[in-house]
Amino acid sequence: MAKQEARQMQPDVQKYIESLDAAVTAREAAVKAAGEKYPERFGYSEDNRRQALAFDNTLDTAYAECESIRATAWEALKASSDPLVKWIAENCASYKAEAHSVLSALPATVSELDDLAARKDWCGVWDTFRQRAIDAGVMPGITPPSPARQAVFDLIDRESCCPMGTRTKQRVSKALDALIQEATSTTASTTETKTAEATA
């Protein structure tokens, strides 16, 4: 917790989490109060049934209000100035529990988020959303592939038996970086040699 506080949780995320915490607290308080208000809800008498119905209605209202607050807080994240937070809100509504863990960890490096995903055992789901975030240019510290590099990835996908996974793309990307570095060094060396010969 101290480490997270030292990182200064992003204001949008902090407000979101505080809203969720407040909503859950209010819901639990309403449930507790209802239990105390309708102690005779167990049984088969008319009064038992009346109290049981009133208790259930109170719970339904409490849970509905909680979900409404949670939904509003989630929608607010879509206006975040942080690209990754905004992208998560717009694309990960079906995985709010996982998204909550990622949002709570921000700001974080990609490696730290990978470690979080490994601890949570998110596997393929994380790989898919991770790559989509990279392609969208919102993953911190990672530049989305250039059109030429993406074309290489697409070609490999078409020519192979199955599409590459995230880790494979990372290895291929590093190999391409090494190839580009080698080509750049070779070109520079050749240019220097020609220049030296021309001035000799």
Length in residues, the chain: 200
> Within the chain, which residues score under 50 in pLDDT?
1-5
- The Cα–Cα gap between 71 and 65 comes to 10
Cis amide linkage into residue 147, ω under 30° from 0: no
Look at residue 198 in the predicted model and tell me its pLDDT: 58
- The Cα–Cα gap between 174 and 12 comes to 34
Read off φ and ψ for residue 81, nearest 5 degrees.
-80, -10
Look at residue 5 in the predicted model and tell me its pLDDT: 47
Q: What's 94's DSSP letter? A: G
Look at residue 87 in the predicted model and tell me its pLDDT: 97
pTM > 0.75: yes or no: no
Kindly state the tokens that stand for 83. Answer: 């690209």
Residue (of 38, 23, 132) closest to 73 by Cα position: 23
- Angle between the N-to-C axes of helices 96-105 and 110-120, in degrees from 0 to 180, rounded to the nearest 10: 140
Residues 131-140: b if buried by 16+ CB within 10 A, e if exposed: bebbeeebbe
Q: Is 113 exposed, middle or buried (0-12, 13-18, 19+ CB in 10 A)?
A: buried
Look at residue 195 in the predicted model and tell me its pLDDT: 57
